[in-house]
């Protein structure tokens, strides 16, 4: 559901109308500020599971793809990576469902960078229902940066000379990285 312009009018390109809000710098931990974004959506009957009870699990990942694309554009992250001759791909993703989203419920997705290293940028996406401000699901994504150094990209994007520093890796992200490394090692060893 991205809005497209046709004949001077903006129309929804799918059944889910998406309202995109301007990205802003929000505070992470302490004084650290990282690019953040927000998109909104609604769970329609085409988005629910076979029992018509809640939003289908796959729909969450589709919505995150739209939110991430919006974030890349508004934060200029993708433009910065491309200017260095690089590319970015989804390396891994995990989602934790806390409470389901019912049909016709409005939700917003907040997106922010929570950590990066030389090869990857780690993002967190939260599905929040505005009526109760409850976090319904949390998605962690590893964005692999190819053909350039993610540290260099983030230094330029964050304007490090202004005093903004790289955040420490959150404990859950550190454990998730470790889990992914173990899994990759097992696959390399034929397990």
> Binning pLDDT at 50, 70 and 90, where does residue 102 land?
very high
Q: Measured at the alpha carbon of residue 113, what is the angle toward residues 109 and 119, in degrees to the nearest 5?
A: 135
C-alpha span between 121 and 93 (Å, rounded): 12
Burial of 97 (0-12, 13-18, 19+ CB in 10 A): middle
> Binning pLDDT at 50, 70 and 90, where does residue 19 land?
very low
User: Could you read off the pLDDT of 46-64 as tens digits, one per residue?
Assistant: 999 988 799 999 999 999 9
Give which of 35, 44, 50 is closest to 14, Cα–Cα.
44
Question: Can you give the pLDDT at residue 82?
Answer: 97
Q: Is the pLDDT of residue 1 over 80?
A: no
Q: Where are the chain's structural domains?
A: 3-188
Residue range 3-188, CATH number: 3.10.129.10
Helix H or strand E encompassing 50: none
Residue pair 24/18 in contact by the 8 Å Cβ criterion: no
Give which of 150, 160, 136 is closest to 43, Cα–Cα.
136
- Say which residue, 109 or 25, is predicted with more confidence: 109
Question: Can you give the pLDDT at residue 162?
Answer: 62
Give which of 35, 43, 73 is closest to 60, Cα–Cα.
43
Q: Is the pLDDT of residue 119 over 60?
A: yes
| Most distant CA pair in the chain, distance | 56
Q: Is the pLDDT of residue 17 over 70?
A: no
Q: Measured at the alpha carbon of residue 165, what is the angle toward residues 163 and 166, in degrees to the nearest 5?
A: 165
pTM above 0.85, yes or no: no
Mean pLDDT along residues 147-168? 84
- Say which residue, 66 or 159, is predicted with more confidence: 66
CA distances from 68 to 49, 76, 134, 154 (A): 24, 12, 21, 16
Question: Can you give the pLDDT at residue 116?
Answer: 96
Least-confidence region, from 13-17, 34-38, 48-52, 87-91: 13-17
- Say which residue, 146 or 155, is predicted with more confidence: 146
């Amino acid at each position: 559901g991205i809005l497209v312009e046709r004949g001077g009018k903006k129309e929804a390109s799918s059944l889910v109308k998406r309202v995109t809000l301007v990205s802003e710098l929000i505070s992470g931990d302490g004084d650290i500020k990282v690019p953040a974004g927000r998109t909104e959506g609604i769970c329609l009957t085409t988005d629910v599971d076979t029992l018509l009870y809640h939003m289908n699990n796959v729909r969450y990942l589709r919505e995150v793809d739209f939110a991430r694309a919006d974030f890349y554009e508004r934060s200029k992250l993708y433009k910065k990576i491309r200017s260095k001759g690089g590319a970015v791909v989804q390396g891994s993703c995990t989602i934790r469902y806390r409470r389901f989203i019912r049909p016709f419920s409005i939700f917003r997705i907040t997106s922010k960078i929570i950590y990066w290293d030389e090869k990857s940028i780690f993002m967190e996406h939260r599905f929040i229902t505005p009526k109760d401000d409850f976090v319904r699901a949390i998605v962690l994504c590893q964005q692999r940066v190819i053909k350039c150094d993610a540290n260099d990209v983030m230094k330029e994007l964050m304007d490090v000379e202004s005093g903004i520093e790289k955040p420490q890796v959150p404990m859950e992200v550190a454990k998730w990285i470790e889990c992914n490394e173990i899994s990759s090692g097992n696959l390399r060893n034929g397990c």
